[in-house]
């Protein structure tokens, strides 16, 4: 197995990725995502509300997953400071329509101020939904993380965790040797404190990403299969399964180019374009906040360095909710990943 450092994504140039997405896209500009939106009367794409804050707490992670669009890993140094977290808290406290704070990374738990931040959110907004996107293996990575299940429970956190498959072979191929076994152990620890157990109100959701250049199957059918297999083989329970299409950026884009799958994959996304999914894309009710406080329409735009189209409010320090709700959302051809088939968002299928 390659070292973690050797596995790190090497493309790592958002401008180069955008050029590839535009110049190598099948059918050229006539088949662009922008033109698809025009044909269904949805361009410019505008927000419906500011309901979800998705906050990237840093790109440091204890894993190096092949499909990771964040290009996260143990060598990444980008980390959100407490000062930037305070700017987040200031906005969270005053935005009445905000109903969910979604914490991601990297492994958000590796931020040294993670627990302070979660507790502060819960203090200023006692009823708000808090999601932590936990990679599961972090719970076992170091003794200082062993109590995370109890911490999540105390702060009424919804846990969302990636599990590529219900077998070791496919999971380890995507996320690294031994990850499946550690993930099962972590899921059992979460079950022990009540997560995923009927009647506990402690929500444990799983995320499925395809392991190659294809679209996910039916979310309903996959959820039923995952529940049966994990229950029967490992005595693991969870609430819901979210299917998420791999977006052609970062490490997954590199894989597509190296395997000569880019054009075929983009053709799959393009041919599966679903107008209903386009109407429900997550960028319409979500603001993505980078580790440094800059604002983006979504987590994928963040990784392509496409800041919000609001020159006067591109950073938390200059937050202007009126300008942000009136903005036009930046789109490019990677957006086909969110509108293919049943649609794809951080909360799973959208249509």
Q: How far apart are CA 242 and CA 219, in angstroms?
A: 7
Terminal CA-CA length for the chain: 39
12 vs 324, residue with greater confidence = 324
Q: What is the pLDDT of residue 176?
A: 81
Q: Is the pLDDT assigned to residue 170 strictly greater than 90?
A: no
Angle at 348 between CA 344 and CA 351, to 5 degrees: 60
Q: How far apart are CA 165 and CA 230, in angstroms?
A: 10
Q: What is the pLDDT of residue 12?
A: 57
Binned at pLDDT 50, 70 and 90, residue 172 comes out as confident
Q: What's the whole-number mean pLDDT along residues 203-232? A: 95
Q: How far apart are CA 170 and CA 186, in angstroms?
A: 18
pLDDT digits (tens, 9 = 90+) for 255-290: 999 999 999 999 999 999 999 999 999 999 999 999
Strands 286-289 and 295-296: antiparallel
Q: What is the mean pLDDT of the chain?
A: 93
Angle at which helix 219-234 crosses helix 179-192, to 10 degrees, equals 80
Q: What is the pLDDT of residue 5?
A: 37
328 vs 211, residue with greater confidence = 328
Report the DSSP beta bridge partners of residue 273: 340
Q: What's the whole-number mean pLDDT along residues 210-221? A: 92
Q: What's the whole-number mean pLDDT along residues 87-94? A: 98
Provide the percentage of residues in the chain whose pLDDT is more than 70: 96
Which regions of the chain does DSSP assign to beta strands (E)? 52-56, 100-104, 129-133, 157-162, 204-208, 241-243, 286-289, 295-296
Q: What is the pLDDT of residue 146?
A: 97
pLDDT digits (tens, 9 = 90+) for 5-61: 333 344 458 899 999 999 888 878 889 999 999 999 999 999 999 999 999 999 999
Q: How many CA atoms lie within 13 A of 36 on its CB side?
A: 24
**Contact criterion met (CB below 8 Å) for 107 and 135:** yes
Q: For the chain, give me the number of helices (H) and strands (E)?
A: 16, 8
What DSSP assignment string belongs to 23-74?
HSSTTGGGG-HHHHHHHTT--S---S---EEEEE-BSB-S---TT-TT--BT
Domains of the chain listed by start with CATH number: 4-339 (3.20.20.70)
Provide the percentage of residues in the chain whose pLDDT is more than 90: 81
Binned at pLDDT 50, 70 and 90, residue 325 comes out as very high
């Amino acid at each position: 197995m390659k070292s973690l450092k050797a596995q790190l994504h090497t493309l790592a140039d958002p401008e180069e990725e955008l050029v590839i997405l535009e110049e190598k896209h099948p059918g050229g500009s006539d088949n662009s995502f922008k033109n698809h939106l025009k044909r269904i009367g949805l361009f410019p794409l505008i927000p419906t509300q500011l309901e979800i804050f998705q906050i990237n707490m840093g790109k440091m992670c204890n894993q190096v997953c092949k499909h990771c669009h964040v290009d996260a890993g143990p060598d990444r140094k980008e980390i959100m400071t407490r000062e930037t977290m305070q700017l987040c808290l200031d906005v969270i406290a005053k935005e009445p329509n905000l109903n969910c704070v979604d914490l991601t990374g990297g492994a958000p738990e590796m931020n040294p101020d993670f627990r302070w931040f979660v507790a502060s959110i819960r203090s200023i907004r006692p009823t708000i939904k808090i999601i932590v996107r936990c990679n599961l293996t972090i719970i076992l990575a170091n003794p200082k993380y062993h109590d995370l299940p109890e911490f999540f429970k105390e702060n009424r956190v919804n846990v969302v965790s990636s599990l590529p498959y219900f077998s070791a072979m496919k999971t380890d191929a995507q996320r690294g040797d031994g990850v499946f076994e550690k993930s099962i152990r972590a899921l059992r620890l979460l079950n022990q404190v009540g997560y995923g157990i009927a009647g506990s109100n402690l929500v444990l959701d799983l995320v499925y990403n395809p392991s190659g250049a294809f679209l996910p199957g039916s979310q309903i059918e996959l959820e039923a299969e995952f529940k049966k297999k994990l229950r029967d083989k490992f005595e693991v329970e969870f609430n819901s399964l979210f299917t998420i299409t791999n977006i052609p950026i970062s490490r997954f884009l590199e894989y597509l180019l190296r395997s000569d799958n880019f054009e075929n994959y983009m053709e799959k996304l393009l041919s599966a374009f679903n107008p209903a999914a386009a109407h429900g894309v997550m960028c319409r009710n979500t603001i993505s906040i980078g580790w440094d406080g800059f604002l983006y329409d979504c987590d994928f735009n963040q990784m392509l360095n496409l800041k919000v189209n609001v020159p006067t409010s591109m950073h938390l320090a200059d937050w202007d909710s009126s300008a942000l709700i009136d903005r036009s959302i930046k789109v490019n051809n990677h957006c086909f990943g969110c509108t293919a088939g049943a649609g794809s968002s951080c909360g799973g299928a959208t249509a």
